[in-house]
């Protein structure tokens, strides 16, 4: 009985290791239960990490010099002109 509990405990621990991986908790738990926790650990360690967030930033063009400016900047780093941004959905880019 102690071996069975230990086996399930190791399977759950390995499944918890997969929370930030591309393999899900349930999938890694099933693999660990049916194919042994050692195989489950190998699969979890081999699986790539999840992409948790994607960052967006607004890029704009300075009207005076034509330099590309991020939304965070209040003035153009090239010419020093104060910039007010008008938002256009076509300007949304990945940072």
Output the pLDDT for position 22.
Answer: 83
Region 80-86: what's the mean pLDDT? 72
pLDDT digits (tens, 9 = 90+) for 1-59: 999 999 999 999 999 988 888 888 899 999 999 999 999 999 988 888 876 544 556 67
Output the pLDDT for position 39.
Answer: 92
Q: How far is CA 25 from CA 44, 74, 75, 89, in A?
A: 10, 45, 47, 37
Choice between 72 and 6, residue whose per-residue pLDDT is larger = 6
Tell me the C-alpha distance between 44 and 38, whole Å.
Answer: 10
The structure's pTM equals 0.51
């Amino acid at each position: 009985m102690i071996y069975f509990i230990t086996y399930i405990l190791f399977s759950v621990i390995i499944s918890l290791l997969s929370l930030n991986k591309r393999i899900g908790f349930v999938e890694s738990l099933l693999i660990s239960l049916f194919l042994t926790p050692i195989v489950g650990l190998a699969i979890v360690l081999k699986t790539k990490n999840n992409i948790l967030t994607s960052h967006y930033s607004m890029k704009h063009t300075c009207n005076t010099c034509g330099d590309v400016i991020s939304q965070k900047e209040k003035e153009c780093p090239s010419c020093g002109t104060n910039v007010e941004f008008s938002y256009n959905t076509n300007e949304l880019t990945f940072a």
